[in-house]
Amino acid sequence: MKQINSIFKNKKFVLASGSPRRKQLFTMLGLEFIIDPPEIEEHFDPKLAPVDLAKSLARQKGKLVCEKYKQAIVVAADTIVVVDGKVLGKPKDAVDAFSLLKQLSGREHEVITGVYMYWAANQKTVEFAENTTVLFKELSDEEISNYIATDAPLDKAGAYGIQDISAVFVTKINGCFYNVVGFPVAAFYQRCMQLFGAVQDK
């Protein structure tokens, strides 16, 4: 896979995530990377606004992993789903997944991904969050149950993955599609251009 821009040339990344979707997106970008998911109990601060919470969760993951690498660029991310200001996490089980999808039925919600990047070699940190708005059609109980029966929603924030069969639930999206998948590739690319370009211009 060829890289779209030379800014990634000779750059080694550490993806601090076990998400198969993020692995696929890093591969799509042609990055040279290894995967090192942190073993961490995430700390949810209910006082934080959703955007700040997403960045906080990504930061917690990234800081734990970056201590192990002195040259590579560590990238951590966390995606949350928000409806009416309420954060919907990953479902605990099928019953919980049904409840989450009922809350999204016929509603507009936000998908927010916080990203933490640390380049130890140059002691540079970048943090940002991307927000995408998604509108679901009205879902019947049968549609929800049939989707849950595929087991696809059980490891995903908000109990759905726009890249799977639940795409049929989505009637409108405003923002980055890949952010809903789990990683905002366009925003990440722009931040990399700024981060690496600033260093290379010196």
Residues of the chain with pLDDT under 70: 1-5, 198-202
Task: Spell out the long-range contacts of 23-32 with Cβ–Cβ below 8 A and sequence spacing 24 or more.
Answer: 25/178, 25/181, 25/182, 25/183, 25/185, 26/183, 27/1, 28/1, 28/185, 29/1, 29/3, 29/4, 29/185, 29/189, 30/1, 30/2, 30/3, 30/4, 31/3, 32/8
Any domain includes 29: yes
Does residue 89 lie within any of the structural domains? yes
How many domains is the chain built from? 1
pLDDT at position 103: 96
Look at residue 199 in the predicted model and tell me its pLDDT: 46
Q: Is residue 138 part of a domain?
A: yes
Contacts of 52 (CB under 8 A, 6+ apart): none
Q: What is the pLDDT of residues 186-201, one digit of tens each?
A: 999 999 988 887 444 3
Question: In sequence order, what E strands does 6-53 have?
Answer: 12-15, 32-35
78 an active-site residue?
yes
Q: Is residue 1 part of a domain?
A: no
96, part of any domain: yes
Q: What is the pTM of this model?
A: 0.90
Catalytic residue among 45, 78, 151, 201: 78
CATH classification at residue 30: 3.90.950.10
Residue 93 belongs to a domain: yes
- Please indicate, yes or no, if residue 147 is contained in any of the structural domains: yes
Structure tokens at 102: 């009922």
Look at residue 1 in the predicted model and tell me its pLDDT.
46
Containing structural domain, residue 195: 6-200
Query: How high is the pLDDT of residue 2?
Result: 54
**What's the confidence (pLDDT) of residue 60?**
94
Q: What is the pLDDT of residue 161?
A: 93
